[in-house]
Amino acid sequence: MKNVGEASAAPAEEYASGERSTRNRVARSILDHGPSTVAELAQRLGLTQAAVRRHLDALVVDDVVAAREQRVYGARTRGRPAKVFALTDCGRDAFDQSYDALAVDALRWIEQNAGGEAAVAAFARDRIETQAERYREAVEAADPEDRAAALARALTEDGYAATAKTAPVGRQLCQHHCPVAHVAEEFPQLCEAETEVFSRLLGTHVQRLATIAHGDGVCTTYIPHTTPTAPASASTAGRNPA
């Protein structure tokens, strides 16, 4: 004769497993698309808003996501900004390889023993140049109006969960994940070198509006519709104006 507790255990375990799977999908969707509202998550995942709220509540308790007001660029519309949910540092760590401490220690050693900030900047440029060769092939193969999207796809293959979208008089390149965010918090030369490469690849000055390393939900780079110019200068290319 089956024990009643044993008979109910399997369905309970299956339910818990399904809940965890859906919760992971919610967190992954925020990783891939950036800070999101309940309505946006429900639409992307095919869930009810009530179900999304239940999973978000659990993720907030676990310090995987945090709620905040949606940042508005440009003119603010009437009413309160929508509440969005963004990954916390703890939430991002769940998707990261944990080599941050080693990388920070290595760059700190370079800064202190092998040439200071200039040596770190040289390392950052050399690192991104290696990646840029792959990105250049994708960008040059695309039509001019599709080059931002081609760069986004190439970045996504490297783990940056990038998208390109239309913005007023230009485009926005959004990187919803940064594998080196914790390192870049201490060494912004990584962001600066990356932005310089974007400028060269796209053949125009670009402006970094936000970075995950600076505490923003998404790394956002503005690409204006302008006549191609020289690459952005190292003094401003990676700085977050905020």
185-212 pLDDT per residue, tens? 999 999 999 999 999 999 999 999 999 9
pLDDT at 61 > cutoff 90: yes
In this prediction, residue 34 carries a pLDDT of 87
Distance CA(206)–CA(199), nearest Å, equals 6
Ramachandran angles phi, psi of 165, nearest 5° = -140, 160
Residues in the chain: 242
Query: Which residue ranges make up each domain of the chain?
Result: 18-70+80-87, 94-224
Residue 42 banded pLDDT, cuts 50, 70, 90? very high
If we measure between CA atoms, which residue out of 209, 174, 155 comes closest to residue 33?
A: 174
CA–CA separation, 236 and 148 (whole Å): 20
Using pLDDT thresholds of 50, 70 and 90, give the confidence band for residue 89. Answer: confident
- Residue 81 CA to residue 90 CA, distance in Å, equals 25
Q: How far is CA 179 from CA 48, 130, 156, 217, 229, in A?
A: 31, 16, 11, 14, 29
pLDDT at residue 237 tops 60: no
Handedness of CA 15, 18, 22, 24 (dihedral sign): positive
- Give the pLDDT of residue 168: 81
> Once rounded to an integer, what is the mean pLDDT over residues 66-89?
73
Confidence of residue 238 (pLDDT cuts 50, 70, 90): very low
pLDDT tens digit string along 12-30? 554 556 677 889 899 999 9
pLDDT more than 70, % of the chain:
79
Q: What is the pLDDT of residues 109-167, one digit of tens each?
A: 988 888 888 998 989 999 898 889 889 999 999 998 899 999 999 999 888 999 999 88
Q: Regarding the domain delimited by 18-70+80-87, which CATH topology (the fold level of the hierarchy) does it fall under?
A: Arc Repressor Mutant, subunit A (1.10.10)
**Predicted confidence (pLDDT) per residue in 69-80, tens digit:** 876 555 555 656
Residue 239 has pLDDT above 50, yes or no: no
Q: What is the pLDDT of residue 229?
A: 43
Q: Which residues pair with 85 in a beta bridge?
A: 36, 67
DSSP H or E run through 49: helix 49-61
What's the fold here for domain 94-224?
Muramoyl-pentapeptide Carboxypeptidase; domain 2 (3.30.1380)
